[in-house]
Amino acid sequence: MPEDVQAEQAISLAISGTGALIPLQEAKVKPGETVLVLGATGPLGQIALQVARQLGAGRVVGAGRSADALSILIDRGIADAVVQIGTGNDDAALSVAGPFEIVLDCVFGAPAQAAVRAMAAGGRMMSIGVGAGMHLTVSLAELVGKSVHGIGTGQRPVAERRAAFDRLIAWHREGKLSVSIRSFPLERIAEAWALLSDSSHGKVVLHVDQASRSHSNSIAQ
> How far from the centroid of its chain's Cα atoms is residue 163's Cα?
18
User: In sequence order, which ranges of 85-199 are alpha helices (DSSP H)?
Assistant: 90-97, 109-118, 140-143, 158-173, 189-197
The CATH number of the domain covering residues in 7-159+165-173: 3.40.50.720
* CB contact at 8 A, 34 and 100: yes
> Cis link prior to 99 (omega < 30° from 0)?
yes
For the whole model, what pTM was predicted?
Answer: 0.89
The whole-number average pLDDT for the span 74-99 is 96
Q: Tell me the pLDDT tens digit for each residue of 18-54.
A: 999 999 999 999 999 999 999 999 999 999 999 999 9
pLDDT band for position 200 (50/70/90)?
low
Nearest by Cα to 190 from 174, 206, 203, 167: 206
Taking the C-alpha atoms of residue 111 and residue 90, their distance in angstroms, rounded to an integer, is: 6
How much of the chain, in percent, has pLDDT values that exceed 70? 93
**Domain ranges in the chain?**
7-159+165-173, 180-220
pLDDT at 134: 95
